[in-house]
Structure formats: C-alpha cells, structure tokens
Structure 1
C-alpha cells in the first residue's frame, strides 16, 4: 500500500473478531499518530486500496467514512482523499534516538573534540552546498571515493601537512573511527593484538575490540607514546603523534624514528591518527609518520575537527597492500563513505575556502588557548599540553579529586571531561580536559573566573 510513494504498514487479520473496516481505520490512525502519515498526504482511492489489500471495496469505503466523520481526512473534488491532520495518540511517540544526548540550555560544554563550527564562513558554506548539488546524481558507487575529493585531499596534505602523495594513494573514508573499523575488519584477524596509547582515543579502542582484536595499552609521557614499551607480538600500533589525545603531547623526533624502525623490524602497521595535525601554533609540525615511512604507516585524517562533523568525510593514505585490503573489505560488506560530504569539501577546496578557514581557525584557537592558559596559570592552576590543538589538560592528584571537580563544574552548568575515561585499562593519571573550540570566545572568557575557582 502506498501514499505519496511510501509504503504504509497496514496489516489486516482476517481471523480477528474485529471487523476489517475497523482494523483498517485503526491502522491508518496509528500511521498518523506515529508520524508515518502527515497532513497533506494523499491516500489511495477506496478501489485501489481494496485491490491492494485483497478486500472488498465495502471495507475500505466504511473505513474512509469513519475517518471522514472524525474529521482527519477529507476528499478534494477530482483530486482524491487527503490527510487533513494527525489525531492525538494515547501512546507516547518517541522522536529521539535512544542514547542521543542533548545538553540543556544554559550549560557551557567545554569537553574536547568539538570543532569551531560557528567560525565557518556561512556564505562559503552555502555556496559549497549549492555547487555540490549541481553535480549530477551518481549512477555507480566510487568505492575509493570521488576522484576530485581524493585530489583535493592530496593537495590539502601537501599544503598543510607536508605529505606529498598522489591522488591514487588517497582513500576517502567516513572519518577516523570509520577508517579504524575498516582497517580492523580488512587487515587483521580476530585475536590479533594492537597496541594503543594509554590514555588514548577510546572510540578507536572500542572499534578494534568490536572486531575481535586484543587491545594492549602503551604508556605516553611528555614525548608521546613510548616505543620501548610496546610489547612483543602485536600486529599494529595506533597513535596520535601530532597532538596526543587526550594528554596533548607531541611525539618527539627520536621516538618517531624508533617507532618506524621497530615497525619495519617486526612488520608492524602504524596507524597514524593525525588528530589536531593542522592545528599547530608554536612551531612547524614535525614530519608525519607517513612521510617518514609510507611503507609501514596508515595515515588517517578527518574533516570533523577542522570543519564540522556534518560532512562525515575523512581520508586514509596507506601502503598498497593495506589499501587493496580495505577496498576488498568494502566490496565484501557493501560499505563506502558517503559522497555528499566529499562533494562539499571539493567545492570548499576549489574556491580556497578550506585554506582560508584553516588559517582563521589557527588564529582563533591560538588566541583562545592563550586566554585560557594565562588565566589558569595566573590562578595557580597547572596546565599540560603543547601549544596546539583545541584542548588542554589540568592534572590532578587523584581520581577522587577528578570526580569532585567534574561534579562541582556541573553544578555551575559547565561540562568538563576527566582523564579517567580515556584509559582502556586501569587509569594511572587523573585530571580534567578543557576543550575551547566548541563554545564562543565570549562564553569562554566569561567562564574563566569560575574555571580557576574550580580547578585551583
């Protein structure tokens, strides 16, 4: 059964003592109450509906007459029968996805990982979407990503990350976590061990575990992940060398060399999550691991932190064997990144808006970080993390102190994040992370005194 081309969930039970006309009227009311039918939707004619349901026209006519009498459908001369309104329902209708979180009004969210989406040039944003919509609909899927998108990412990596790579070596992804899911399913076998930073990015950890892989934590310090602490027998190492998440350190040049040598010696795959890689404020970034060792590094990036999660677009640059395995995985599973966000990124890059936004983003976040760090240090609050990225860490001496600060901040309508949840195993460090990109600069400035008071 259709209405405006959409199937209606109408089932009639011929064994039920309830008359078929009453069942049909009830089913249509339920469709309206659940939002499946809406005001203005055109219903099939009584004759067409009777044929589709395999009942007599008397049944459909009686159901329509009842709904006409109740006043929520009406006939239009020469046009058909239409829904005029949706009846009230005696059952709750759930409109939100279970688990979807919505922060109440008046709460300042200073958790890390939120981009400065408000800083996007809205005129450029609209122009990119309009231009993206002008492209004809695809008749076949591009499992590696749209060629123009891959070319735009290759140009981006060269200009902003110093990685010279041909378009053919770039794969589009749905983002960093989506890429980890694909690597886990394509490259490894259940039971394989993967070393991860401890503390580290727990979505990646869960993606690896969900694929049946064993996760082994490796400690990090002020120089990033410790290659000497990677246990023997692992198949891969997942790390964020540009700006370690969440501690904010940068992997030193010496450790990068050590890690690459270890990977080549033991045939390991390094999964390089370029978290905040474009957001360096103090000095030029160190060379990417993918630039040092393209033969053993799968480099991952995303537009979610530098632009917005709206695009759902990321990229992977990996050794040919890894790329082939990922493409084969996409063929087997029928999965591939959505081209819609890729098209928008193409237009942002084509008109120079991507580069302009990144320059503006670096300036803005550098100034915000300076504002926040100056206030905290003036109040006697210690700060960890390099001059980079969109968050910093305030260390604390115990898990209890961390929990107390988070609760106290929540009572003041401020959301902060604790270090404890970023450990795959038993937490060995305590502290609070403060993200400063998702809010306005004015809101951040207004909260400085409260933050110092809470964290002193």
Structure 2
C-alpha cells in the first residue's frame, strides 16, 4: 500500500502527531487520498515516516475524532470525506463588512463553554433514558442523588486524589450557585478575598449575599497569597488553573494559604471548574486534600459535559456541610436531581469515561491549532497547559478594546481581560477553543492571526 507524502519535521514547534494528522488531512483535501481509500496501518506508516507507532496512532485517533477517517474492524482505516479547505493567504486577509440589514455571524472563541461537538449523542440519549427508568422520588433529599454523589466521590478519588465518600459530597447546580450557598452562611458585610482578574460570577454571587469582595492580584502562579488582607471571612480561588490567566498555584503557596486559613479562621473556596482537562501536566493535589478542615471544594459538569445537566458538587468541612443541609431542609431549596441522574447513568455505563477521553484528545488538538495561530501573529500565549482557553497578553487596554472590536467585525467573538478584572490594569484577550465546531474554529484561526498581528485592523473593510 502506497504511503501518502507527508513531511515530518522534528525541529518544528508542532508535535509529530499533529504534523502527521495535518499531512494526511491535506492529502485528503488535495485528492491525493480519495474518499474510500484505505490508509496504511499505523505500523506501516510509522515505519515509512521513521517515527514511533505511538505518533501515527495518535494521528489516526485525531482524524477519527474529526470524522476524516473511519475504522472498520478487521479491515483497516479508510478516508471518508475530504471537504474543501478554508485557506486565507495572509496578504489577502480582510475584515468582512456586515451585510446590509444584518451582522457577521460570530464564531464563539470565548472561554467557559463545553465542547458539545464531541459529546456522543447516542450516549447522551442512553443516559437520559436510563435516568428516566429510575422511579420518581417520593421525598426530596437535600444532599442530592446518591448515585450521582457516589460517582463524584469515585471520580475525585481516581483523578484528583481526594478521598471522600458519597456522604461527604453535596450536589449543587454549579460553582456559582455553590458560592452563593456558602456566602449565605457568612456574616453580612463580611469581606471575601477574590482573584483579580478572576471569575466575575462568583463576585456577583458574593455581592448578592451582602458580602464585600476584596480584589487580590494574581501572578504566573495564581493567587498571591501574601496579598490577601487580614480579616477576611473567606478566600475564593481557582488554584488548579487560575481563571482566566491559567496559573497553577505551586505546593509551597498552597501550604501558605492553608496555614493562613487555619491561623486566621477563614474558609477557602476552591473552584476546580475544569479539573478534568489536563494535557501535558499532572494535576497538583487539591487544596481540599491538603486541608479538608478549612477548604470547600467546588466542581461542575458545565465545562466537561453540558450546562444542560445543571449539576455540580461541593465537598466541605462537616460543620459547614451540616449548616448547608439545614438551610436546604428548612427552606425546601435543593438542586434538581434529573441532571444528576443523567450524569450518574453516564458514569455507570462507562460513557462518561469514554467521553472524557475523547474530550481531552479533541481539546488537545484544538489547543495546538489555537497556539499556532497566536504564535503566527507574533504573540506569546499564556495559561494553556490545561483547560480550554489561553490568554494573549496585550500592552494596553486600548489595544485590548481594538482587538476585541476588530475580531467582532471579522466574525469572531473574543473576551477582553477587562471583563474579568475589578481593579487590575492587566490587558489581553482570552481565546477559547471548546465552543465552536472544529470546522468553524479552523476557518476562524487565519482571521484571528490577522487580528492579533494588526493586519485585519489596518486593512480596509470590504
């Protein structure tokens, strides 16, 4: 079987699996590989290219996830389609003018959305059917669905090293709602330290509870613990992957935060909003595993599965957990259990684990594409070692506003760093890669490069 012509450059920035996948994709687009044509085995291709079989297997996995090829058990891997590519030569990039009476459709490159495209619809339907097969509840349970809480406890142990049981977990509707529940237990008017830049919905939840958010700066290692003022009732932080800058709080700084929490009597709210999305780095121990007596661990399914579920979780010190349960019981407020049952069904069938493997593979490939587009513009991204977004630092807020507005005119929705800041003067744009379909992302990236390097901003519209 003839091996397609693929250039492999070991000195290039792109990983070898990405280069091989790109070469095969380009060959399909050019017609060198015809629809229905069988590809060489991963072993044959590895031998021909002088790379390991791991490289070619990863490339085939990527193409399978994208839908370019199809595996037939016992037969081989075949090309199934080769759509026309979207190529925009750099010198020809122009910002499109909005059509009369309408607007340019936006490709959503903002952070915070899940990758709905990778979710197996058959698995999704199976989970809903399985959840519906369970009998309806006769009485409410303020803790949440037992199967859901058991699934969360198992996942936290396997992937995050947090040793808890189902009874230690409370279901929530998401991290913002969990922050609001905890905030309602703090004294009115209490001050709460928050990251700046940081997650503004948490800030809004604190303010709605009558608390006073106090901005604390972040650096490349996340929250600057030494800048947390004395006298706060709580600290809200995202230590695993600071939102939005992407810093990872090192162990020494985590230990310092825990030491201060115990000495000064405040609680730490640990928002692990995208803890499942790790690529080149292993997760550091959760704050909750270091100090379960002072840390409230928060998680959500909104970034990994879908906000449709409205399902999250909370692990808190026993006194605080009991206080939350008492409020839920006396007020009759509790998170709906339908989404919890769906996630529990996905976990029980193994569909959730398969989904997360596909998700990490797909988002890893998208990350490389977005990084390459940013670097091609002469910019150095930060915060992309985990999660589904990165930050492109910019020298000023005026340039940030210019980039965001130029991107919008080009049909791309970006978020400026200003949206996440309270008092911080930092400037930049946040670029996410989970929300759009892959073909939309690929089409938008040349325009993103043009906007970031100034060509689209300096070119006349039209």
Matched residues in 2 for 1:453 and 1:354: separation? Answer: 38
SS of corresponding position for 2:117:
helix
Q: Is 2:442 aligned against 1:442?
A: no
Once residues 430 and 342 of structure 1 are traced to their aligned partners in structure 2, the CA distance between those partners, rounded to angstroms, is 38
Pairing partner for 1:236 from 219, 234, 237: 234
Aligned to 2:182: 183
Paired residues of 1:418 and 1:430 also in contact (CA < 8 A): yes
**C-alpha separation between the residues in 1 aligned to 2:149 and 2:255?**
28
Do structure 1's residue 222 and structure 2's residue 257 form an aligned pair? no
Q: CA deviation at 1:333?
A: 2.6
List runs of 5+ in structure 1 lacking aligned partners: 1-102
TM-score, structure 1 length as denominator?
0.76
Q: 1:378 to 1:253 in 2, by over 3 A?
A: same
Structure 1 stretches of at least 4 aligned residues deviating more than 6 Å after TM superposition: none
Q: CA deviation at 1:427?
A: 3.3
Three-state SS of the structure 1 residue aligned to 2:162 is coil
In 1, are the aligned partners of 2:172 and 2:335 still within 8 Å (CA)?
Answer: yes
d(CA) in 2 for partners of 1:188 and 1:266?
A: 15
User: Following the alignment from structure 1 to structure 2, what is the Cα–Cα distance between the partners of residues 275 and 176?
Assistant: 7
TM-superposed deviation, 1:378: 2.8
**3-state secondary structure, aligned to 1:278:** coil
Per-residue Cα deviation, 1:120-152 (whole angstroms, up to 9, x for no partner): 111111011011111111111110001111111
CA shift digits 1:409-437 (9 cap, x unpaired): 1111110000101113x231011001100
Out of 376, 379, 400, the residue aligned to residue 377 of structure 2 is 379
User: What corresponds to 1:355 in structure 2?
Assistant: 353
Gap change, CA 1:277 and 1:104, over 3 Å in 2:
farther
Normalised TM-score (structure 2) = 0.75
Q: Which has the higher contact order (CA 8 A, sep 6+)?
A: 2
SS in 2 for 1:372: helix
2:104–2:409 CA contact under 8 A, matched in 1: no
1:293 partnered with 2:291: yes
Deviation digits for residues 282-330 of structure 1, max 9, x if unmatched?
A: 1211000011111110000000000000000000001001101111121
Query: Any conservation in 1 of the 2:145–2:337 contact (CA below 8 Å)?
Result: yes
CA contact (8 A) 1:182 1:329 kept: no
Mapped to 1, the partners of 2:431 and 2:384 lie a distance apart of 14
Q: What is the distance in 2 between the residues matched to 1:107 and 1:423? A: 24
Which residue number corresponds to residue 5 of structure 1?
none
Aligned to 1:245: 243
Counterpart in 2 of 1:139? 138
The 8 Å contact of residues 349 and 355 in structure 1, kept in 2 or not, is answered as yes
SS at match of 1:306: coil
Alpha-carbon offset, residue 105 of structure 1: 7.5
Structure 2 gap ranges (5+): 1-101, 454-462
Secondary structure class of the residue paired with 1:112: coil
Are residue 114 (structure 1) and residue 109 (structure 2) matched?
no
What is the alpha-carbon distance in structure 1 between the residues aligned to residue 307 and residue 297 of structure 2? 19
Q: Which residue of 2 aligns with 1:368?
A: 366
Aligned with 1:306 (options 304, 307, 310): 304
Q: Residue by residue, what CA displacement relative to the aligned partner does 1:172-217 show, whole Å, maximum 9, x if unpaired?
A: 00110110111011x2011111100001000000100110001101
Structure-2 residue corresponding to 1:154: 153
Partner SS for 1:218: strand
Count matched residues: 352
Shift of the 380–164 alpha-carbon distance from structure 1 to 2, 3 Å rule, reads same
Question: Given the alignment, which residue of 405, 410, 431 partners 1:412?
Answer: 410
